[in-house]
Amino acid sequence: MAELTMIEAIRAALFRALTDDPDVIIFGEDVGIDGGVFRATDGLIQRFGASRVRDTPLSETLIAGMAVGAAAHGLRPVAEIQFMGFIYPVLDQLANHASRLRNRTRGRLTCPMVLRAPFGGGIKAPEHHSESTEAMLAHIPGLRVVVPSSPPRAYGLLLAAIRDPDPVVFLEPKRLYRSTSEEVEDDGEALPLDKAFVLREGEDVTIVTWGAMVAEATEAAQQLAETGVSVELVDLATLKPIDRATIRSSVEKTGRCVVVHEAPLTAGLGAEIAADLAEHCLTSLLAPIRRVTGYDTVMPYLRLERHYLPNTARIVEAVGGVMEFA
């Protein structure tokens, strides 16, 4: 067992997948010789060769489209888009082809592809280099959207995504790439998809979040514990399909819920979670559901970023409000 950062864990998972399955291929912009914009694929071309780890031209739509074609033919392409903000041209292929191939063919053709993209804030770059538009992807039936929040979950979920028979968009919180190291056992064991992780059990309030916000929520939970508030922390991990059962049963226990995401408020995934709880757990709720999110603005640059991103203080404040209500 080794201590790995998230980026190292991702690389270890890719290494493992390439080793285990000759149908796995990697392509994207600068993933080969340069080792990827964040070095996720560093060293893979030296080990597995240029036929399996392929540098592509700057052509995002094509990268996704070729992945769909190759996947329909039985390969398992793992394509990289350098930043989530570069994913918009790719939506054509994700929404119109990748996510629908199974349905259109009644399962005779499938699309076992993974599209990796760094996402979220924390590197002080504006707009497309830092935004979180996961709700847009989670709205597409047939697509899986997965976000790891720690090195071991990055390793296990990426392996699961590569082995999954359906298309997965794997969004990597770039703020967590190198922020911490954790023990990761490179044993080839995948973690379950479509399953939320209860990272901390508690009695008073459920915090549902994902990605880099898990770290903020963890810190908030610790601070709140000192004031006597017991937080149950749910890392959603797979944003689509949503593990509604885990969220509901947690909230049925605690009676309170705060959803935290970096993405803007309106039509964010927090709205879906709140609506689901309102529909199914109303009688368990002791207080209104609160959302702590980014704002309905453009993801800002450098100095303003810390004001935009939800942080521990905002989460603690929201939980405090919920606790005060009842």
Residue 34 interacts with other proteins (CB under 8 A)?
no
Mark 296-317 as b/e (b = at least 16 C-beta within 10 Å): eeebbeeeebeebbbbbeebbe
Q: Tell me the C-alpha distance between 233 and 218, whole Å.
A: 7
Q: Tell me the C-alpha distance between 233 and 161, whole Å.
A: 23
Q: Mask of contacts with other proteins, 224-263, x by CB under 8 A?
A: -----------------x----------------------
Residue 21 interacts with other proteins (CB under 8 A)?
no
* Helical (H) or strand (E) element with 322: helix 312-325
Instruction: Name the residue nearer to other proteins (CB basis): 195 or 253.
Output: 195
Query: Exactly one of 73, 97, 128, 129 is catalytic; which is it?
Result: 129
Instruction: Name the residue nearer to other proteins (CB basis): 74 or 288.
Output: 74
Number of residues that bind other proteins (CB under 8 A): 43
Q: How far is the CB of 41 from other proteins (least distance, A)?
A: 18
Q: Tell me the C-alpha distance between 74 and 69, whole Å.
A: 9
3-class secondary-structure state, position 3:
strand
Q: Tell me the C-alpha distance between 113 and 280, whole Å.
A: 34
Q: How far is the CB of 38 from other proteins (least distance, A)?
A: 23
Q: Which of residues 51-80 bind other proteins (CB under 8 A)?
A: 51, 54, 56-57, 59, 61-62, 64-75, 77
Q: How far is the CB of 112 from other proteins (least distance, A)?
A: 9
Return the DSSP state at 265: S
Residue 144 interacts with other proteins (CB under 8 A)?
yes
Question: Closest Cα to residue 147, out of 163, 164, 135, 165?
Answer: 135
Residue 50 interacts with other proteins (CB under 8 A)?
no
Q: Which stretch binds other proteins (CB under 8 A): 89-97, 120-128, 259-267, 317-325?
A: 89-97
Residue 109 interacts with other proteins (CB under 8 A)?
yes
Q: Tell me the C-alpha distance between 200 and 317, whole Å.
A: 19
Instruction: Name the residue nearer to other proteins (CB basis): 104 or 178.
Output: 104
Residue 24 interacts with other proteins (CB under 8 A)?
no
Residue 43 interacts with other proteins (CB under 8 A)?
no
3-class secondary-structure state, position 181:
coil
Residue 125 pairs in a beta bridge with: none
Mark 43-76 as b/e (b = at least 16 C-beta within 10 Å): ebbeebeeebbbbbeeebeebbbbbbebbbeebb
Q: Tell me the C-alpha distance between 318 and 201, whole Å.
A: 19
Residue 142 interacts with other proteins (CB under 8 A)?
yes
Those residues whose C-beta lies under 8 Å from the C-beta of residue 254, and which sit 6 or more positions away, are: 202, 203, 204, 205, 206, 232
3-class secondary-structure state, position 99:
coil
Q: Which of residues 190-219 bind other proteins (CB under 8 A)?
A: 194
Q: How far is the CB of 105 from other proteins (least distance, A)?
A: 5
Among 102, 124, 244, 280, binds other proteins (CB under 8 A): 102
Among 19, 46, 105, 180, binds other proteins (CB under 8 A): 105
Residue 283 interacts with other proteins (CB under 8 A)?
no
Q: Is 280 a catalytic residue?
A: no
Instruction: Name the residue nearer to other proteins (CB basis): 65 or 264.
Output: 65
Catalytic site positions: 129
Q: Which residues contribute to the site for other proteins (CB under 8 A)?
A: 25, 51, 54, 56-57, 59, 61-62, 64-75, 77, 92-93, 96-97, 100, 102-110, 141-142, 144, 164-166, 194, 241
